[in-house]
A and B are shown apart, each in its own frame.
Chain A
Amino acid sequence: MRIDLLAASEVGPGEMKMAWVDGVEPVLVVNVGGDYRAYQGICSHEYFELDRGFLTGGSLTCALHLSRFDLETGEALDPPAEQPIARYVVVVEDGRVQLEADGPLQVNE
């Protein structure tokens, strides 16, 4: 099943943006040097939107307590987070970034 998130042009290289599935479920879209990726939108440590954080090298830092996650694997690199953030499969078609999901989205907390 494909879920439309946002237009690819909305997220330039080195940027990120939050998309809301059905208006309620946050999915973070990150453009890593042209490669579009999607992750759970909320930090695995404490409820906090990851788009308010910072892209730091090949990682994402949550603004709340500076937990840091690897953008390849989603693994928690710096505490206080211990659980990784889930990474989702995305495709870019006709300039739209779309989620490939066949069930509820996994979210680690």
Chain B
Amino acid sequence: MTTTREIVSDRRDEYAFHDDIDYLAQTKRGLTRETVEEISRFKDEPDWMLQFRLRAYEHFLKRPMPTWGGNLLDIDLDKIVYYRKPSAGEEKSWDDVPEKIKATFEKLGIPEAERKFLAGVGAQYDSEVVYHSVREELSKIGVVFMGTDQALKDYPDLFRQYFATVVPPEDNKFAALNSAVWSGGSFVYVPKGVEVPLPLQAYFRINGENTGQFERTLIIVDEGAKVHYIEGCTAPIYATDSLHAAVVEVVALPGSKVRYTTIQNWSNDVYNLVTKRAHAHTNSTVEWIDANTGSRLTMKYPAIYLRGEGATADIISVAVAGKGQHQDTGAKAIHLAKNTRSRIVSKSVSKDGGRATYRGSLKVMPGATNVVASVRCDALMLDDISRSDTYPYIDIQEDDTTMTHEAVVGKISADQIFYLMSRGLTENEAQNLIVQGFLEVFTKELPMEYAIEFNRLVKLEMEGSLG
């Protein structure tokens, strides 16, 4: 993003990909059994994956559309193209990118080459170069970081051992859809005891669509290892397709520590329906740091199953819902073992008729003794045409659990605004400062350059200039 890189002269040949995957250009619109078979065939997948996809497809057909949450009535599943070749080689023109997207890049201070990459146009070689140098560093310490498609080929046993163990296709309709047609996404494996020194960023990884609509990410962190993975970026993702149904699975083996940060700012016509879940084993720590600022509708409830004793879960989620947007987000902490801890903090801001909904679940199952859990979900509404809903589910089945839950909904106090304005800020600036303060619990968890960009993004949203 704003990390500086040397502009390297054309050394593409030294980093030529060994691409033994022959991609079909794209499947026909709509989803049939044949579509699924085609996808698997052209990715040259082993038979078990084809069977997996077909079983998921059958389940997808059986499952009705959810009637809770956001309004999914306008999604036409028959019009979507479920698979298309990654953008390498696609000739998109910079001229085709919408004006306001270009303007946002400008405001966010994103260098030109990156802009083109993010918009899916132009040469990607700059990014390829970065990717390769990062990859070298990582392979020296045994870390695997590649596209999910490639990982299926290169690490078949490891892949099969963990794939779909955290989010099975039968979990919900969109997990079933993703399981049937998934393509792209990241695969990360961190060996025992290894602490990955830099955050792994999704856009470093190239070999397939980065912002694919059905991406599938699988992160396995072995015993005692530590990694921070960052997904997304603050620039609006200009998506050609309106449905993004991703699945992210994280396996935190004993003693490991995983932080997964997402900053997603989909353009305003996208339906962002994601199933993200982690299994936290003995004494491990999993952190979901999640920001949702774009899309027409986001339904996403990062979850952590605390399976091993002493595991810790931390979920910090923010949602900003502007005009025409509905952020239906939340968090789930399921305590299945003793001495586990969870903390959920959710902050939402709604304005200009936007709607923010918090849906959370905290469960302490029998046998999970000595659990300490806390939930804080606050909502800020900036005007009276916006809406905020909070639906926390708390289900405690042990007699020694300590849990607390607080929620406050309100508007910015007129006094605070007045005070700041009397110090010389405009009303907009004052509002922005207060909102930033409200969201600080989240922003302070971000690496510096992301925090700066995120604050800038919030500022733009507040000014209404992202429309």
Whether A and B touch (Cβ < 8 Å) is answered with yes
Could you tell me the distance between the alpha carbons of A5 and B305 in the complex, rounded to whole angstroms?
30
Complex: A62 Cα to B50 Cα, angstroms: 25
Contact B363 A66 (CB under 8 A): yes
List which B364-384 residues lie within 8 A (CB) of chain A. 365-368
| Nearest CB in chain B: distance from A51 CB, A | 12
Cβ–Cβ contact B170 & A48, under 8 A: yes
B402 proximal to A (CB < 8 A): no
Q: Which of A59-107 contact B (CB under 8 A)?
A: 59, 61, 63-66, 68
Tell me which residues from 35 to 65 in chain A have a Cβ below 8 Å from any Cβ of chain B. 46-48, 52, 54-59, 61, 63-65
Main SS class of interface, A = loop
Q: How far does the alpha carbon of A55 sit from the alpha carbon of B366 in the complex, in Å? A: 9
| Residues of the A chain whose Cβ atoms lie less than 8 Å from the Cβ of B422 | none
Minimum CB–CB distance from A57 to chain B (whole Å) comes to 3
Contact mask for chain B residues 312-340; partner A; CB cutoff 8 A; 1 contact, 0 none = 00000000000000000000001010000
Q: How far apart are A64's CB and chain B's nearest CB, in angstroms?
A: 6
Q: Considering the complex of A and B, which 10 residue pairs feature the smallest CB-CB distances, nearest first? A: A57-B366, A57-B367, A56-B365, A56-B367, A54-B336, A56-B366, A46-B170, A64-B170, A59-B366, A48-B170
Which of these, B170, B305, B363, B367, contacts A47 with CB under 8 Å? B170
Partner of B336 from A47, A48, A61, A64 at Cβ < 8 Å: A61
A23–B367 CA distance with the chains assembled, in angstroms: 33
Q: Could you tell me the distance between the alpha carbons of A56 and B363 in the complex, rounded to whole angstroms? A: 12
Residues of A with C-beta under 8 A to B168: 48, 52, 63-64
Say if the beta carbon of B307 comes within 8 Å of chain A: yes
Q: Does B426 contact A (CB under 8 A)?
A: no
Q: Report the minimal beta-carbon distance from A97 to chain B, rounded to whole angstroms.
A: 23
Nearest Cβ in chain B — how far from A55, in angstroms? 7
Residue B165, interface by CB 8 Å: yes
Decide if B171 is an interface residue (CB 8 Å cutoff): yes
Residue pair A54, B307 in contact (C-beta under 8 Å): yes
Q: Provide the residues of chain B in CB contact with A54, threshold 8 Å.
A: 307, 336, 365
Q: Which residues of B contact A46 (CB under 8 A)?
A: 170
Interface footprint category on B: 10 to 19
Across the interface, B366 reaches (CB within 8 A) one of A48, A52, A58, namely A58
A52 touching B170 in the complex, CB below 8 Å, given contacts A57-B367, A61-B365, A68-B365: no
Task: List the A side residues contacting B367 at CB < 8 Å.
Answer: 55-57
Known A-B contacts: A52-B168, A57-B366, A57-B397. Give 4 more (CB < 8 A).
A56-B368, A61-B336, A63-B168, A64-B168
**Closest CB-CB distance, B315 to chain A, in whole Å?**
17
A47 to B363, CA, bound (A): 23
B170-213 toward A: CB 8 Å interface, digit per residue (1/0)? 11000000000000000000000000000000000000000000
Interface residues of B in 340-376 (CB under 8 A from A): 363, 365-368
- B171, A64: Cβ atoms closer than 8 Å: yes
Expressed in whole angstroms, the minimum distance between the Cβ of B56 and any Cβ of chain A is 12
A57 contacts across to B, CB distance below 8 A: 365-367, 397
Q: How far is B165's CA from A56's CA once the two chains are assembled, in angstroms?
A: 19
Residues of B within 8 A of A47 (CB): 170
19 pairs, CB–CB < 8 Å, chain A vs chain B: A46-B170, A47-B170, A48-B168, A48-B170, A54-B336, A56-B336, A56-B365, A56-B368, A57-B366, A57-B397, A59-B365, A59-B366, A61-B336, A63-B168, A63-B305, A64-B168, A64-B170, A65-B171, A66-B365
Considering the complex, give the chain A residue whose CB is closest to the CB of B364: A56
Complex Cα spacing A54 to B368, Å: 11
- Cα–Cα, bound, A55→B336 (Å): 8
CA distance A54 to B307 in the complex (A): 8
CA distance A90 to B336 in the complex (A): 28
Residue of B nearest to A49 (CB): B168
For B412-453 the 0/1 string (1 means CB < 8 A from A) is 000000000000000000000000000000000000000000
Could you say which residues of chain B place their CB within 8 Å of the CB of A66? 334, 363, 365
Asked if residues B365 and A52 are in contact (CB atoms below 8 Å), the reply is no
Question: In this complex, what residue of A is CB-closest to B168?
Answer: A64
Bound-state CA distance A66–B168 (Å) is 13
Which B-chain residue is minimally distant from A56 (CB atoms)? B365
Q: Measured between C-beta atoms, what is the minimum distance from B373 to chain A in Å?
A: 16
Complex alpha-carbon distance, A54 and B336, angstroms: 7
A44 smallest CB distance to B (angstroms): 14
**Per-position contact with A for B216-237: 1 when CB-CB < 8 Å, else 0?**
0000000000000000000000
> Whole-angstrom distance from the CB of B456 to the nearest CB of chain A?
40
Which partner residue on chain A sits nearest B279 by CB separation? A63
How far is B166's CA from A52's CA once the two chains are assembled, in angstroms? 10
Residues of A within 8 Å of B336, CB to CB, are: 54, 56, 61
> Nearest-CB distance from A53 to chain B (Å)?
9
**Residues of the B chain whose Cβ atoms lie less than 8 Å from the Cβ of A55:** 367
Q: Which residues of A contact B368 (CB under 8 A)?
A: 56
The complex places the Cα of A57 from the Cα of B396 at a distance, in Å, of 13
The complex places the Cα of A48 from the Cα of B170 at a distance, in Å, of 8
* Chain B neighbourhood of A59, CB < 8 A: 365-366
CA distance A63 to B165 in the complex (A): 9
Distance (whole angstroms) from the CB of A72 to the closest CB of chain B: 13
CA distance A46 to B365 in the complex (A): 20
